[in-house]
Amino acid sequence: MRSPDAEPVPGPGTPGASARREYERRKARDEARIRERWGRLGGIAVAMSEEKQSTTAWATGAVGE
């Protein structure tokens, strides 16, 4: 069961769905690069790093639609 705070995952035909998918794709790619660079400390590095502005813009755009 999902937590009540969790954002709904938009499905096809939902406004902002493609922007949300792009945000998730970019976020995953950014995190993978950090984990690769930091090795065993990758999880800590991900937790302490900020999202790139270009990645965050996709999340903002999804909400705006």
| pLDDT per position as a tens digit, 12-34 | 678 889 999 999 999 999 999 99
pLDDT at res. 11: 63
Domain count across the chain:
1
Q: Could you tell me the pLDDT band of residue 64, with boundaries at 50, 70 and 90?
A: confident
Task: Say if 33 falls within a structural domain.
Answer: yes
- Domain hosting 21: range is 17-64
Task: Say if 36 falls within a structural domain.
Answer: yes
Instruction: Return the closest-CA partner of residue 34 out of 45, 23, 24.
Output: 45
Q: Within a 10 A sphere around the Cβ of 61, how many other Cβ atoms?
A: 15
Task: Say if 5 falls within a structural domain.
Answer: no
DSSP per position, 9-48: ---TTSTTHHHHHHHHHHHHHHHHHHHHHHGGGHHHHHHH
Q: Could you tell me the pLDDT band of residue 9, with boundaries at 50, 70 and 90?
A: low
- Output DSSP code: residue 2: -
Instruction: Return the closest-CA partner of residue 30 out of 13, 45, 18.
Output: 45
